Structure 1
């Protein structure tokens, strides 16, 4: 008999950092344990936010380049074969805002922690911190697995 219960959705942010690969692998393992699905989201922001006094990290990045980087990130996280049912979503926009919006339909949001601190965090804000504070679902922050 087929279950009428919805399948849990695990959304994970993938930015190409080693911490995001760890987050993606963690999300895939968790989804497998709970019978859920994983939606990997890669987001990039080309807009300058005047209130920061800063600029976008890669203002000239286009869709094709972003798609290529996303593919590289997924390959780095899962060399050879991706988990079955992995959904991939590429979205232009502020990464924390994109993930917070995605959390509204998710059962769990997973993000990596890149370890940026001090002044850089004050100026740019931390995606993991913003998601933990504003997401509409529980958030898991995964640190990069550093070998001593």
Structure 2
């Protein structure tokens, strides 16, 4: 009989906002507590599509540049989290084309937890389209944690 333990998979949506950075810090701490791994996901759409668009040079989106910026952001946030000599849980980053809510719902398949920030990039887009956090709580295939950036310890 196979008794190998399965590693908890924690998915976190990151869009560069302070709220998503708080969600990333929370997800890393949680994964450390449960012996899990963290999958960091950033979604992008072409400017003019109905969602957050990654900053683009000369009006064109550069996937490689976006992936590098995500990696730098994750390292910066994790650098604040990591204790001396503490490597923390495994972290995997990816940048995906698509609407953030749809991308995160898809990423939630097979995950143990999906973590998002309470507020993303724009109030107008939230009012017009509905928040990503609201959409993922309704459609994700795993439990969802919404992290507020203004809470102590986030």
TM-score by length of 2: 0.78
Of 83, 90, 103, which residue of structure 1 is paired with 2:88? Answer: 83
What is the match of residue 44 of structure 1?
A: 44
Give the superposed CA RMSD. 2.5
In structure 2, what is the equivalent of residue 62 of structure 1?
A: 62
1:124 is aligned, of 116, 125, 129, to 129
Q: Which consecutive unaligned segments of at least 5 residues does structure 1 have?
A: none
Structure 2 residue aligned with 1:23: 23
TM-score (norm 1): 0.81
1:70-97 CA-to-partner distances (Å, cap 9, x unmatched) read 0232133123767341111221111111
Using the alignment, how far apart are the partners of 2:95 and 2:118 within structure 1? Answer: 20
Change (3 A) 1:3 1:31: farther
Match of 1:94 in 2: 99
Size of the aligned set, in residue pairs, is 141
Aligned equivalent of 1:142: 147
The DSSP-based 3-state class of the residue aligned with 1:129 is: helix
- What SS does the corresponding residue of 2:79 show, helix, strand or coil? coil
In 2: Cα distance, 1:56 partner to 1:64 partner: 17
Moved over 6 A (4+): none
Partners in 1 of 2:151 and 2:93 — Cα distance?
26
- In the TM superposition, residue 64 of structure 1 has moved relative to its aligned partner by 2.0
